[in-house]
A and B are shown apart, each in its own frame.
Chain A
Amino acid sequence: MDRRTIEGLEACRPGSDDLRSTELSDVARRVEQDPETRIAYERVQAWDASIGNAVEQVPVPTGLAERILGRLEPVSLAVRPDAVVLAHRASEQLAIEQLAIEQKTSRWSRPNHFGSRRRWLAAGSLAAAALLVTAFLSTWLRPDAPRPLEGLADGWLQGLAGSWQPAEQAPRGFALPSAVSSATSMGWQQVGNPRGVAYKLSDGKAGTATLFVVRLSVAGLPIAPPTVPQSTTGGKAVAYWQSGSLVYVLVIEGNERSYRNFVSVSTTPLA
């Protein structure tokens, strides 16, 4: 039997009409006319049917779906106004987000053990991040304390990469809120901790802004964009609000007037 015939026989899926395809017409002719080829075809078909069944016989580990969902679902922060509890939960969330990001960026085949240097470095950064969050929340919950989200946003701004991905490919879970629908999205990129997305926005004139949409639920934030930004210092107007498990932080190059070019203020929740 020649190689072309053998490859043709082996390419036919069991129980299919693959042999009737025009590309395999010469092989079909041989199967019809040559008894040896016909026997080979029938045996290969039977073999493939058997292997095809066997290949799907794999036991699935117990609790796999729960483990998968457990790593996918975001962990919401408590609504209790207690800085210690909030900071503790926030650090837990950071740890989960960090692990998720690490897993996403790592190869699937990397073994899960705590012996690697990278793992220890990650643990160190997590501890530092947890301390920062503790300090941040402890300060923030004091009535006379300055609003710290601006500082957090500064850190995010500095961490942004130069390149932006096309706006139409932005992740659905971090969609632009309707409150900034008058602005045009010029692109997006991922934000690491907490997990989220940064959008580059334009007001259609000369104004630009960056909107951070991060998965973080904290009590006390407004549920819609404020009528005036919470902060207008250093040539930037910063506003933040929350909807569900997402926090929106809008950083605009400019002042309160620039802010109005980007945000449609309403008395009802918009995000």
Chain B
Amino acid sequence: MAQLVAEHHQTLYRYAYRLTGSVPDAEDLTQQVFLIAQQKLEQVHDLDSVRGWLFTVLRNCFLKGIRQRVPMPMANTDFDINLVPEEILEESVDSEQLQAAINTLADEFKIVVLMFYFEHHSYRTIAELLKVPPGTVMSRLARAKAHLRRKLIEGAEYVVPRPDIARRRERIG
């Protein structure tokens, strides 16, 4: 068990933090995953699949523990090529700003987008794991990513704007 904790607690915590957006909640969620693992780890027959199994436990715990809350409306989730920057300065993508954007996603969108970005699952695998049609996953993924982009673009200091947009801003200014 100690080895399991040593190997996976950091990744699980990071995932939990992205899901919950809170340090204490992420720690509680991580703890809960290991409590369940202690009791049910015999369900995992293939040691290579432990990480995926832990992720699944974490997602399920998160979904079961969600407070009844009204998700924030995702106003405009249409794809806009102008909101996809040509170049991003990776080192200046702010983790907390990213978290603030993730926090505004409804949970069904948040789960899908984190399974895509954090677990690196294909949309087909996400659909199988969540037991929803692949089309639903594709739709949620596209909408969630468009929403994140809009939120992140509001604090766009890390984005190198397209030259035409920059010129337009200069003229307006």
Chain A interface (Cβ within 8 Å of chain B)? 1, 6-8, 10-11, 13, 16, 18, 21, 23, 36, 39-40, 43-44, 46-48, 50-58, 60-61, 64-65, 67-69, 71-72, 100, 103-104, 107-112, 171-173
- With A50-B93, A65-B6, A172-B41 given, is the CB distance from A10 to B1 under 8 Å? no
Contact B98 A65 (CB under 8 A): no
B171 within 8 A of A: no
Question: Which of A39, A68, A171: most chain B Cβ within 10 A?
Answer: A68
Contact B122 A13 (CB under 8 A): yes
Contact B141 A11 (CB under 8 A): yes
B169 to chain A, nearest CB (A): 19
Q: How far is the CA of A207 from the CA of B27 in the complex (A)?
A: 47
B46 within 8 A of A: no
A5 to chain B, nearest CB (A): 9
B35 to chain A, nearest CB (A): 5
Contact B31 A55 (CB under 8 A): no
Q: A1-B81, A46-B88 are in contact. List 15 more A-B contacts (CB 8 A).
A: A10-B145, A39-B81, A43-B86, A51-B148, A54-B90, A65-B6, A68-B9, A68-B30, A68-B31, A103-B31, A104-B35, A108-B20, A108-B28, A109-B65, A171-B40
Which of chain B's residues have a CB closer than 8 A to the CB of A18? Answer: 122-123
Interface size on B, residues (CB 8 A): 64
Which one of A10, A47, A53, A54 lies within 8 Å of B141 (CB-CB)? Answer: A10
A-B pairs under 8 A by CB, number: 145
Contact B34 A72 (CB under 8 A): yes
For this complex, 19 residue pairs linking A to B, each with C-beta atoms less than 8 Å apart, are: A10-B142, A23-B124, A54-B98, A55-B118, A60-B9, A61-B23, A64-B10, A64-B30, A65-B9, A67-B31, A72-B34, A72-B38, A103-B35, A107-B64, A108-B29, A108-B65, A109-B67, A173-B38, A173-B39
9 A-B pairs with the lowest CB-CB distances in the bound complex, closest first: A58-B14, A54-B93, A10-B142, A107-B65, A7-B138, A43-B84, A6-B79, A11-B123, A108-B65
Contact B98 A55 (CB under 8 A): yes
- With A11-B138, A13-B122 given, is the CB distance from A57 to B32 under 8 Å? no
Which of chain A's residues have a CB closer than 8 A to the CB of B6? Answer: 65
Q: How far is the CA of A50 from the CA of B120 in the complex (A)?
A: 13
Interface string of B15-57 (1 = CB under 8 A from A): 0011010011101111110111011111000000000000000
Contact B42 A61 (CB under 8 A): no
Q: How far is the CA of A137 from the CA of B28 in the complex (A)?
A: 34
Q: How far is the CA of A171 from the CA of B37 in the complex (A)?
A: 10
Q: How far is the CA of A146 from the CA of B154 in the complex (A)?
A: 75
Which of chain A's residues have a CB closer than 8 A to the CB of B36? Answer: 104
B109 within 8 A of A: no
Contact A51 B25 (CB under 8 A): no
Which one of A44, A48, A68, A173 lies within 8 Å of B34 (CB-CB)? Answer: A68
Least CB separation from B31: chain A residue = A68
Least CB separation from A168: chain B residue = B42
Q: How far is the CA of A210 from the CA of B139 in the complex (A)?
A: 53
B2 within 8 A of A: yes
Contact A72 B14 (CB under 8 A): no
Which of chain A's residues have a CB closer than 8 A to the CB of B59? Answer: none
Contact B5 A69 (CB under 8 A): yes
Which of chain B's residues have a CB closer than 8 A to the CB of A172? Answer: 41-42
B71 within 8 A of A: no
- With A47-B88, A51-B93, A54-B98 given, is the CB distance from A68 to B5 under 8 Å? yes
Contact A58 B18 (CB under 8 A): yes
Which of chain A's residues have a CB closer than 8 A to the CB of B34? Answer: 68, 72
A169 to chain B, nearest CB (A): 8
Which of chain B's residues have a CB closer than 8 A to the CB of A56? Answer: 14, 118
Least CB separation from A55: chain B residue = B117
Contact A13 B120 (CB under 8 A): yes
Contact B114 A55 (CB under 8 A): yes
